[in-house]
Structures are given as structure tokens and as C-alpha cells.
Amino acid sequence: MPEKARVVRPITLRDIAREAGVSINTASRALTGKPDVSDKTRRLVQAVADRLDYRPNQLARGLRQRKTATIGVVVADLANPFFAEVAEGIERTAAGEGYSIIVANTEENEERERRAVHTLVERQVDGILIAPTQSSDASIRYLLQRRIPVVLLARFFEHLQVPAVINDDREGARLAVRHLIQRGHRDILYLNGPPYNSSARLRLSGYQDALQEAGIPFRSSLVISTDARAAGGYAAIQQALAAGLPFTAVFCFSDYVSFGAIRALRQARLGIPKDVAVMGYDDIDLAGLVEPALSTVHIAKTRLGQVAARMLMGMMEPSGKQAERVGVTVLAPQLVIRESA
Amino acid sequence: MPEKARVVRPITLRDIAREAGVSINTASRALTGKPDVSDKTRRLVQAVADRLDYRPNQLARGLRQRKTATIGVVVADLANPFFAEVAEGIERTAAGEGYSIIVANTEENEERERRAVHTLVERQVDGILIAPTQSSDASIRYLLQRRIPVVLLARFFEHLQVPAVINDDREGARLAVRHLIQRGHRDILYLNGPPYNSSARLRLSGYQDALQEAGIPFRSSLVISTDARAAGGYAAIQQALAAGLPFTAVFCFSDYVSFGAIRALRQARLGIPKDVAVMGYDDIDLAGLVEPALSTVHIAKTRLGQVAARMLMGMMEPSGKQAERVGVTVLAPQLVIRESA
DNA sequence: TTGTACGCGTTATCAA
DNA sequence: TTGATAACGCGTACAA
């Protein structure tokens, strides 16, 4: 007959206290490094805790302290290298300060975002980092109203005063398109992201800025909205080619879109950059590894995550700044010229 | 003088109870869908809760129930598309069942893994999914000893009986190398991962299997260990070329390694697959988008995450299976022939 | 069907 | 310097 598995009850402060012959209170103070504990008892308690491998229950601690050392991270798509790198920057920074992160995916879905935010609130996270689906700002307003520290990632709302860490999208697009123009292109296709996305709007402005500087008239027919994925870039190029749109260069909303676009161009037997130049945006890891190496606009993704996390942790301190006083941090984009343009 | 910001105290069950004119207990039972509550009071309580936008404190609930509906996820590198996709599969599955995930990165560092596991234990996660750094099994043994449900991701320990969801690495490598042999290659370089990694060992076996089947003698000089990153693949090829190693094909531990290898081959003016055929492993998103499109071995990454999450959630149920009875799930790899080999 | 009392494990307050 | 006591917000016996 098999022995019944003995369920090991976790060691609590009470166990430590009993074993060390002190009160629970004293055990707590000793272990949390509070003053007003004699060195002798502190060492004793510490020794017992070590021996029993005591692990404080952070649930109980959080309940009591109204502070969980947890940050909620809400992104559109974890599998997207852009967000994955941002998340990595956040995780590293948070872990360094003793914070854990709860991660939720929205897939750009408003309802999933709503649920994710509620879940995080119920789990008493100390603050939230979120790349908002911008079809609605309800979740953000909800957090503001509940006075929960929040910092937006990579996107922002013009009409809402919320701290954010973003890339200078307008400038980045300007740099990219200016580069294409310098290489002699005048018919530049722009495969943009979805219009509700703040980056998409700003990059479109940057695209227009660069054209205007060069005295090239803007043609809305050369701007195609995509879903910002590779398939979108692929489809958009096919569509452009079929429609007989005249272009010698393509500026893409993201590196992913570029990869799709390049694939479609190749299938049409167009050489890159010989026949058509291509520029991406984001500078994901693989951009420099493919053939032709992708010319693109670099965003400091881990840095973005790191800065956002630091900003949030600052707001979460007892004496931390209020959201209204934090503002928006804008990261400078950087042009990366490789082979595709 | 600025008005002092009134901190809005969160709504608790007590507030609901008072407002609805019932006891806290009744409020709780009404909201958690327990029986023994009249429809009338249930509706009343529910209405009050909705009106006040009540959010149950999951810390308190978890403390009381000894169950947090939280899964700890420990991976080597979130920014690696492989783990990012696995994580996505986990998140989706978990969220669908009301679970949240706390994510930690180890960067293959044993010490970070140790800390991550302790943190998760202290936060009372109901179970842990982990891609173990395999330089040590201490963290895994710790979890087993504490009887915390754990499922390994993509890697496993021969000497430890721990549930795991893995890819059939040996078979995958066999398929890849067999394919190269069928294309007429006999001098096949293998850029392997680090030797402590279980996948690296198994894929090496698969490589040897395929050679043996074809009666090709194994030469250890054709196996180079890399750090499984693009830079590693790049360096390994340079080294192989410099050493004058004879090879007409390269099998790589991962797609990332392939990209690095391809870059180095190109710089040496070698055509792919004309002069050298290249096969990867993983089939990350971008493998099919680059030029030449990468031939590789497909791993169902989101599926791996999904299966692992389901397995873990099964073990976490009160009547759930014990770890010893769960076993290892092996996912079948799939050969994907594109252009590079 | 409803309410009272207690405990989950911790920290904070206050008195000794 | 230490200890008793009361929370934190919720769920669960048990009694009404």
C-alpha cells in the first residue's frame, strides 16, 4: 500500500517565532531588517529562518501593506519582436528592483484589454504599463479615475494627459523618407499601419513633412493602410502593383511589413534596392541579418521598456509624482542604412 | 492652494454588504455564485456591486483559499521569438481559464533562475512552467520537494522524473539531416547549441542517426558548439572556413544560428543553396519571409505553450494528477522545405 | 436562507 | 528591545 503523501505545510512566521522562542512580531521585524531588534535575536531568528527555508507569503504581506511589488504589463502581441524586446527591458528593470510582472496580451482587442486591466486591478498591481489598443481609451480612463499609476508604451492619446514613453514617430518617418528622397526617389509608397494607431498617424505626418521639404506633392493614392503584419505588406504591394501605382521606393510601417513587401516585390521580379528601395521601421533583431539587410529606423526597444518601468516605479513610490506631473518621454529614433535602401 | 487629492478607498465586500443591507457573508456568497442565496438578494447584491464597480481583492481571496489562479513562467529569453511564441500560447490558454501569468527571464543564468523560482514561490503561484537553464537542476528539485506543480518547457532532465512538453529533437534533427543527405550532401556541418542543453544533445544524436542510416561516418570535427545565437552561427562558419573544413551543407541548432551562418557564407561569396545548403530549426515567423526562405524544422511553439499550460492546470486541480503520473508529452517536429536547402 | 465568528500570514500600533 | 493585539479583505464553519 502506497504511503499517503504528506503535504508539507509551508513554513510561516509563526513557525520561526516558536522555534526561535520569540514573538511573531519580533520574528517579522528581525527578518525585514527593522531597527529596534537586538543583534543577538536578529541573528537567532535569521538562523532559524534559513534553516527552515522560510519564504514570506507575499500575498499576506501585500494585503497588509497595500503594496505588492507587482507591475502589470499589457501589450498587443507578445510574439511580436517589438513588444517582446520592450517586455524584456521592463522585466529586467523591474526584477532589478524586486518587482515582478504580470503579463497580458490584448491582440489589439478592446474587450481583451478591458478584461486584462480589470484582472490586474483585482490583483492589486502597484502600477500598469500598457500599449493601448487605441480603438478606445476606456481602459486608460478607468485607470486614471482609480488613480492607478499608468505609463503608456509606444503609443499615446493626444486628448488624455497620461505619462508615456514613445518613439519620435514623426521624426523617424521624416528621416526615413528624407533618406529615400536623397537617393533620388520621388514616387514613394507608404504602407502605413491602422489609422487609429497614434504611431501610424504621426509617421504619416513625417512622411508628408519630408515630401514637403523636397517640394514633392503628396498623393494620398500612395498611402495604403495595412494591419502592420507581414501578410499586410505582402498584400499591399500586390495591390499596388495590380493598380499600376507608380513607385520606386516603399516606406513601411514596420520591419515586418517590409519583409512581406519585399517578398511580394521579389515575386514580381523586382530587384531590391535596384528597382525598388525599401525602408522599414523598428529595427528588430533580424533586420540586419537578412538579405538584403534591411535599412530601417531604429527604436531603442529595451530602453523604452526600461525607461517606462523606471518612470512607473517612480510614480508608485509613496512620495512619487502624480501622473499629471510626469509627462511624456520621447526617445529619438535613429536612421539605420543597410542594403535595402 | 491646491485641493488635496482625495484618495478613493477601494470598494470592499463590506461596502457592498452595507449598501445592500445584508451581511458580508451573504454578499460574498451572492457574488461568487454559491447556492443558498435567494434570487432576490442575489440580484440586489449584484446590482449594488455593479453600481459601485466592485473588484474583489484577489490577494485576500488567494490568502484565504490558498489558490491564486496564477502561473509562474520562467524562460531563458523573452526576446527570443521561440520563447515569445511559447509564452503567447501559455498566456492565451491561461487567460482563457482565468489564470494570470507572472513572467521571469533567466538569460540562461542559474542564479537568476534560482531567484525567479523563489520569488514565484513566495507569490504563491499555483504552478510553474519553466525552460530550465540546464547547468543545474537545483531549482527544479526545489520545486519538486515543495510539491509545487511544475512542467518543463522544451527541455528536460533524463535523471529527473518531471512532467515536460518537448519537441522530438532527435527525430527533428534526423529529418533535417536525412533531407540534406537525400539532396546528395555527405559533408554536413552541424552548428550545435551548448552541450548542457538537452535539445542540443538529442539533436546531435539525430544528426548521427541520419549519417549512420546513410552509411556516412561521423566526424566530430564537423560539429561545432555555439551559443545558439546569430553571432554564434556567424563566428562558427568563419571558423570552419578558416580551418578549411570540407562541407557542402550546414545544419543549425536554430533559425537564429542559421541567419548568422548564412550571413557569413554570403560574405565568403558562397551561394545558398547552390554552394552550401542551410537548414535551421524552430521555424520562427520570419523563416519563411527572408531570402532565401529558410528550410527548417517546424516546432509548434504556441501549441507547446498551450499543451504545457493545460497540463499544469490539470496538475493544479485539487484532484489533479501527481507529477509522477503526468509524464512527458512529445510534440512531433515537421520538416519544412523552402529554398535554403 | 441568512448572519456570526474565525482564520489565512503578514505588518503596524501601542503598551510593557 | 520586545510582545500582545488589531487590522488587511475575503471565504467557510457553524449557528440561527
B110 belongs to a structural domain: yes
User: Is any atom of strand D within 7 angstroms of residue B38's beta carbon?
Assistant: no
DSSP 3-state of A49 = helix
- Residues constituting chain A: 341
The C-alpha atoms of residue A147 and residue A142 are separated, in whole angstroms, by 9
A188 belongs to a structural domain: yes
Residues A131 and A211 in one domain: no
Residues A175 and A269 in one domain: yes
Residues A99 and A159 in one domain: yes
Cα angle A203, A205, A209; round to 5? 115
Is the CB of residue B279 less than 8 Å from the CB of residue B176?
yes
- Spell out which residues of chain A touch residue B95, defining contact as CB-CB under 8 Å: 104-105, 112, 115-116
B91 and A102 in contact by Cβ < 8 A?
no
Residues of chain B with pLDDT under 50: 1-6
Residues B83 and B195 in one domain: no
Instruction: Look at residue A325 in the predicted model and tell me its pLDDT.
Output: 73
Q: Which of A259, A238, A67, A118 is nearest to B293 (CA)?
A: A259
Instruction: Look at residue A175 in the predicted model and tell me its pLDDT.
Output: 98
Residues B245 and B148 in one domain: no
Instruction: Look at residue B79 in the predicted model and tell me its pLDDT.
Output: 93
Instruction: Look at residue A323 in the predicted model and tell me its pLDDT.
Output: 67
Instruction: Look at residue B2 in the predicted model and tell me its pLDDT.
Output: 36
DSSP 3-state of A191 = strand
Residues A85 and A131 in one domain: yes
B95 and A104 in contact by Cβ < 8 A?
yes
The C-alpha atoms of residue B37 and residue A186 are separated, in whole angstroms, by 72
Instruction: Look at residue A326 in the predicted model and tell me its pLDDT.
Output: 75
A8 belongs to a structural domain: no
How many CA atoms within 13 Å lie on the side-chain side of B286? 27
Q: Which nucleotide is nearest to A25 (CA to C1')?
A: D3
Which residue's CA lies closest to nucleotide C8 at its C1' atom?
A: B64
A2 belongs to a structural domain: no
Residues A291 and A174 in one domain: yes
- Total number of domains in chain B: 3
- Spell out which residues of chain B touch residue A68, defining contact as CB-CB under 8 Å: 59
The C-alpha atoms of residue A308 and residue A292 are separated, in whole angstroms, by 33
Instruction: Look at residue A234 in the predicted model and tell me its pLDDT.
Output: 96
The whole-number average pLDDT for the span A121-130 is 98
Residue A32 sits in a domain whose CATH number is 1.10.260.40
B290 and A285 in contact by Cβ < 8 A?
no
Distance (Å) from CA A162 to C1' D15?
52
- Average of per-residue pLDDT values in chain A: 94
* Disruptive mutation site among A7, A50, A59, A324 for chain B (greatest number of B CBs within 10 Å): A59
Residue A282 sits in a domain whose CATH number is 3.40.50.2300
Examine the pLDDT at A319 and tell me if it is beyond 90: no
B91 belongs to a structural domain: yes
Instruction: Look at residue A7 in the predicted model and tell me its pLDDT.
Output: 54
pLDDT digits (tens, 9 = 90+) for B76-102: 999 999 999 999 999 999 999 999 999
Which residue's CA lies closest to nucleotide D13 at its C1' atom?
A: B25
B163 belongs to a structural domain: yes
pLDDT digits (tens, 9 = 90+) for A226-263: 998 999 999 999 999 999 999 999 999 999 999 999 99
Instruction: Look at residue B318 in the predicted model and tell me its pLDDT.
Output: 75
Question: In this structure, what C-alpha cell is assigned to residue B209?
Answer: 542517426
Residues A161 and A307 in one domain: yes
Residues B42 and B98 in one domain: no
A224 belongs to a structural domain: yes
The C-alpha of A191 sits at a distance from chain B's nearest C-alpha, in angstroms, of 17
Residues A101 and A248 in one domain: no
A63 and B68 in contact by Cβ < 8 A?
no
Residues A183 and A285 in one domain: yes
pLDDT digits (tens, 9 = 90+) for A166-216: 999 999 999 999 999 999 999 999 999 999 999 999 999 999 999 999 999
Three-class SS string for chain B? CCCCCCCCCCCCHHHHHHHHCCCHHHHHHHHCCCCCCCHHHHHHHHHHHHHHCCCCCHHHHHHHHCCCCEEEEEECCCCCHHHHHHHHHHHHHHHHCCCEEEEEECCCCHHHHHHHHHHHHHCCCCEEEECCCCCCCHHHHHHHHCCCCEEEECCCCCCCCCCEEEECHHHHHHHHHHHHHHCCCCCEEEEECCCCCHHHHHHHHHHHHHHHHCCCCCCHHHEEECCCCHHHHHHHHHHHHHCCCCCCEEEECCHHHHHHHHHHHHHCCCCCCCCCEEECCECCHHHHCCCCCCEEEECCHHHHHHHHHHHHHHHHCCCCCCHHHCCEEEECCEEECCCCC
Distance (Å) from CA A41 to C1' D3?
14
Instruction: Look at residue A108 in the predicted model and tell me its pLDDT.
Output: 93
The whole-number average pLDDT for the span A305-328 is 86
Strand D, nucleotides < 7 Å from a protein CB: these are 1-5, 7-13
B122 and A7 in contact by Cβ < 8 A?
no
pLDDT digits (tens, 9 = 90+) for A257-301: 999 999 999 999 999 999 999 999 999 999 999 989 999 999 999
A6 belongs to a structural domain: no
Question: In this structure, what C-alpha cell is assigned to residue A339?
Answer: 542594403
Q: What residue numbers bound the domain in which A313 lies?
A: 68-167+301-332
A78 and B87 in contact by Cβ < 8 A?
yes
Residues B176 and B293 in one domain: yes
Is the CB of residue A216 less than 8 Å from the CB of residue A177?
no
Evaluate if pTM is beyond 0.85: yes
- Spell out which residues of chain B touch residue A259, defining contact as CB-CB under 8 Å: 286, 289-290
The C-alpha of A103 sits at a distance from chain B's nearest C-alpha, in angstroms, of 6
